[in-house]
């Protein structure tokens, strides 16, 4: 779930991820607590599933996040690619980052 790309063995029961362990054949040979907690993260009701768009100015203490669809997101990026060149700007404005271990969302 991060750039480390550890090797894992995932257990799926009845179509649901239930356990994640280190792949003993992978050079790392271990995973961190976040990797172990992957089933809880995947099914958390608090998990972001879509990009979030700020609807209020940055000076407002309430950013007014609203969920948007990917096609709207891609249209926004396509309309102003310079604004999204910096990864931090993307996260500040749209509240979505790839990976659970990025630390800046």
- Which residues of the chain form contacts with ligand SF4 (CB under 6 A)? 1-2, 4-6, 31-32, 34-35, 101
The phi, psi pair for 58, rounded to 5°, reads -60, -25
- Residue with smaller CB distance to ligand SF4, 2 or 17: 2
For residues 20 and 10, the answer to whether their CB atoms sit within 8 Å is yes
- Residue with smaller CB distance to ligand SF4, 30 or 66: 30
Q: Whole-number minimum distance, CB 42 to ligand SF4, in Å?
A: 12
Cβ-proximal residue to ligand SF4, closest one: 35
- Residue with smaller CB distance to ligand SF4, 22 or 91: 22
For residues 32 and 91, the answer to whether their CB atoms sit within 8 Å is no
* Residues 11-26 as b or e (16 or more Cβ within 10 Å = b): eeeeeeeeebebbeee
Q: Whole-number minimum distance, CB 83 to ligand SF4, in Å?
A: 29
Helical ranges in 2-86 per DSSP H: 33-36, 38-42, 70-79
Q: Whole-number minimum distance, CB 2 to ligand SF4, in Å?
A: 3
DSSP single-letter state for residue 15: T
Q: Whole-number minimum distance, CB 51 to ligand SF4, in Å?
A: 21
């Amino acid at each position: 779930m991060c750039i480390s790309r550890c090797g894992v063995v995932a257990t799926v029961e009845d179509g649901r991820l239930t356990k994640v362990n280190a792949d003993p054949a992978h050079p790392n040979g271990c995973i961190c607590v976040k990797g172990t907690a992957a089933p809880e993260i995947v099914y958390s009701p608090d998990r972001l599933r879509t990009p979030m768009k700020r609807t209020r100015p940055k000076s407002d203490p309430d950013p007014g996040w609203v969920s948007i669809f990917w096609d709207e997101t891609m249209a926004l990026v396509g309309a102003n690619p310079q604004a999204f060149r910096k990864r931090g700007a993307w996260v500040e404005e749209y509240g979505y980052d790839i990976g659970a271990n990025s630390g800046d969302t």
